[in-house]
Structures are given as structure tokens and as C-alpha cells.
Amino acid sequence: MSIRVPLLVAVSSVVTAWILAACGSTDDSKFKDGTGGSSGEGSSGINGSLGGVDGGGGGAAKPCTNLCLQQKACAGGATTSLSGQVFDPAGKVPLYNVIVYVPNAPVAALKSGASCDRCGDVSGEPLVSAITDTAGRFKLTNVPVGASIPVVIQVGKWRRQITIANVPECADTALAAEQSRLPRNHTEGDIPLMALTTGGADAMECFLRKVGLEDGEFSAGGASGRVHFYAGSPSGNQAATAQFDGAHGGARFSAAEGLWSSAANLSKYDIVLLSCEGQTSPETKPQPALDALYDYTSKGGRVFASHWHRYWFDPRGDNNGAVSGTTKFGNLGTWNDDQKFPATVGATVDVSFPKGKAMQEWLGNVGALTGMKLPIDGAKKNLESVNAANAQQWITYPSPAAVEYMSFNVPTGVPDEQKCGRAVYSDLHVSSGVGDRPGPAWPAGCKTAELSPQEKALEFMLFDLSSCIQSDRAPPTPPPPVR
């Protein structure tokens, strides 16, 4: 029961099924050539070219072949279908904006590293496709009938491929939650290669365990896991004093400075997660590092930055100290380090844009809201407002005004269709209030197994960060039909 493929972004919070090709049972149905997707072995992208699956041109039509021949017309408006919910690797939290599809051709391997994965198409010539709603639900219709039907579940470079033993004609087959969750380890499917820097004020490493990644996928930088640890300051003091426990051989973390010192180092990774260090630490982030992080995201890298890592976007010391560098990210908003901001707040989700509305619905569905507010422990006020021309606010607090979550696509200052990378800034300590302890004692410092409300918000943002790139001002779009 294994295969692998991409996940894309949804259009609405209602279950939306997309029939990418209704071949029927005759040979006169056609597909366009799939020349525009990531269809070669070792493809670096999820979505290949910037155009549709036919490369944006009107590729030559071809006869209905392979699984297309197994699609059957049903009487009385019935259909052959597959339905279910997509869950995170832990199998606990349903996920929004995940694409589920039946491929009609081989699915290409994924290659780790920064790549320009814009929304538009997926590998494997999808025959039928659906995108999960805000409850994680999907329904594939006009599914091929018979034995060993492949299904791909994907968002960005999180991808799992399964095989359905038998799909009966003109009936619905419901998938079990264990079948439709994302992979917990690399033997079950594809997991993005992530770099995670430790910090003194946040424990992102514990968050990923709660999302469901197995401990064997965490390793020191350069080792075999899908999450590579680097020691941030002051946790590890940049001297790599942090280390795994005895079960991991005491392997020491490399200093984070070595990770972010060049775009080449960063570009080995699909996603970089920066835990709050408890201070800005300008001395560890010289100008070449500031430039490198921007260059990495510009070529398709993804970055999550917690609290004092605002330094990458606003290079001043703690408490609006002296400027010690310049940023290429441009004007993202108004920064104001207000240390008197209340630590516990009830924040509001911005529903003025499509995915913001979906986020609010999703948070309600997963039990993260109190009333219509997201309770946040460890809230900060470093970002007062966003520049809407360059960034999107997600979660805010009204008075004093603060933005707790912001995202933006990169390069900044270019048309949306030329953007390749993405960054998320979180002006709060994600692990605050749950008892998880950042630092060298990993995994012993991870005290809890369930996600807090603010960690659930981060889970939404993590998978959105992982997904293909498009403007946040438009509804997410599925891959174009392969006809």
C-alpha cells in the first residue's frame, strides 16, 4: 500500500470535487499530453512548469488509456466514488487544502531543496481529483473501477501514495483514517526536508512530534532524518552544546550560523523552521546571512520565523535597538517592540481573504476557538501592522494593535506569477503554556502529546507554508484538467 504524489490548495471550505477527465468507457475521450508537470525522475518541483499540465500550450490529444478505460457510466446519476478525510501524520487533526487524486500515469519522484513550486499542475496525469474542505473531507467521483487503484494524497512535498485493493462499480468506497493520513516517516511516503534551529524561548521540535513525525526522522544536520537540527542562540550558545539524548548516540547539533551563512546551505532544504532564541542575536546574523535567507526564499525556499526572528525582516536589536543590517524583504509592516503587551490574549482571525475565512472555519472544526477567538499564550507585539502591498495578516489583536501571524510570498516587489518562495512570521511563542522545554534535552523536554489551540493554528500555517505558491488574494485553485 504505497505510492506518492502532490497536494494542492482548495477553492472553498465546501467539499469540492473536480472531475479532471470524464473518460467514460469509450475510447473517444482524450487527455492532453502531460508535458508541463513534474513528470521526470528526480523532478525538483511539485508542480513543474508555470502553466497547466499540458505546459500551457494546446498539447496533442491522445486516446483514453490506462485507468481511463476503467471509468464506468452508472445509471440514474450514480457514480463510482472514493471518500474520506485527510489527517496529519499523527492521524488526529484533519487537514485543509490537500489534493487527493487518481493518477493515470507514473508519479514522478520528488527532489529535496528549494524549488519554484507554483500552483498549476501535478505529476501523474490526474484522472479525477478532489481537494479537502475545512473538515479535511474529500470525495473523488467517476473513479476507475477494479483492483489496485492508486490514490495520491499531497500538499507540497508532503505526499503519500496508497493503493485501494478493489473499487466496486457505481458505489462509494470510504477510506479509513489510517489510509488517508500523511506519512509519519520516509518509508510511508514523502516528507519535506526541513532544517530546524533550536531556541531558548520556543520548542518547534516538540511541535513537529505532535504533528506526528516519528523520532527517527529527527537528526543532527546532514544526517538521514527529514528534520535536521541546528543549535540556535542561546539554546546551545551557538557552540553546538545542544545534543541528542543517548538514544541518538549523543550526536551534536551544528551551529545555526553555519546553516544560514549562505543561500547554498539553506537551499538544500525545502523548509527552514526558526525557533525563537529569546533575543535577536544580531551577532549571529551578519549581512551575508540576511541576504542569504532572502535569496533562499526567492528561489523557492519556505521559512517559518518565531518572534525574535523578526530580525531577518527588521534588522534591529532587542527593543527597537540600533539597526545593524539591511533586509531585501522590503517594507512588510510597522514594527514596534512593545514588551508591555498582554501575554495572554483572545486573537481574531482575519476573514477578509479566502484562506483566512477557511482558517477560521478549520480552527472551529478542530476545537481551537473559544467563541470566535483564538486563545494565545505568550503573545507578543513586535509587529503592529502589515503593509498589505507586500504581506498578508492572518491573526491579529485589536488594542493595542498587533499582528500575531503574517505571511508573504517572495521575491517581494514582483508580480504574483513571478513569486516562488514563502515565509511566515509568528509574533508569539508557539510552545508557550504547554510545558514543553526547549534546549538540549530532546526529546525529554517534550512534555505534551496534544496540540494546544495556538499550535493548531501553527499546523494550519505549516501546511499552507508547504503548499504550492499563489497569491493569497485569490481562492486557491486545483490543477487544470488533463483532457
Is residue 244 domain-shared with residue 209, that is, in the same domain? yes
- pLDDT confidence tier of residue 231, bands split at 50, 70 and 90: confident
pLDDT in tens, 96-115: 999 999 999 999 999 999 99
Query: How does DSSP classify residue 322?
Result: -
Peptide bond into 443 cis (omega under 30): yes
What is the Cα–Cα distance from 273 to 353, expressed in whole angstroms?
25
Q: Same domain for 406 and 312?
A: yes
In a domain, 131, yes or no: yes
Q: Evaluate whether 198 touches 438 at the Cβ level (below 8 Å).
A: yes
Are 200 and 231 a contacting pair, CB within 8 Å?
no
Q: Could you report the per-residue pLDDT of 333-364, keeping only the tens digit for each?
A: 999 988 788 989 999 999 999 999 999 999 99
- Domain ranges, residue 400: 194-343+378-450
Confidence band, pLDDT 50/70/90 cuts, at residue 438:
confident
Same domain, yes or no: 154 and 290? no
Q: Does a structural domain hold residue 403?
A: yes
Q: How many angstroms separate the CA atoms of 111 and 270, rounded? A: 9
Q: What is the mean pLDDT of residues 195-224?
A: 89
Which of 140, 174, 208 is the last residue in one of the domains?
A: 174
Whether residues 164 and 206 fall in one domain: no
Residue with cell 440514474: 76
Helix (H) or strand (E) holding 194: strand 194-197
pLDDT at 422 over 80: yes
Tell which residue, 156, 153, 56, has the closest CA to residue 114: 156
Cβ count near 231 (within 10 Å): 29
Q: How many domains does the chain have?
A: 2
Question: What are the cell numbers at 379?
Answer: 503573545
In a domain, 457, yes or no: no
Residue 357's SS3 state is helix
For a pLDDT cut of 90, what percent of the chain falls above it?
65
70 and 150: one domain? yes
Whether residue 253 is contained in a domain is answered as: yes
DSSP string, 364-395: HHTT--BTTBEEEESB--SEEEE-TTT-EEEE
Helix-helix angle 453-466:204-211, to 10 degrees = 80
For residue 260, pLDDT over 70 is answered with yes
Reported as a single tens digit per residue, the pLDDT across 324-334 is 899 999 999 99
Mean pLDDT rounded to a whole number for the chain? 83
pLDDT at 65 over 70: yes
User: What CATH number has the domain bearing residue 138?
Assistant: 2.60.40.10
Residue at 456: amino acid letter: K
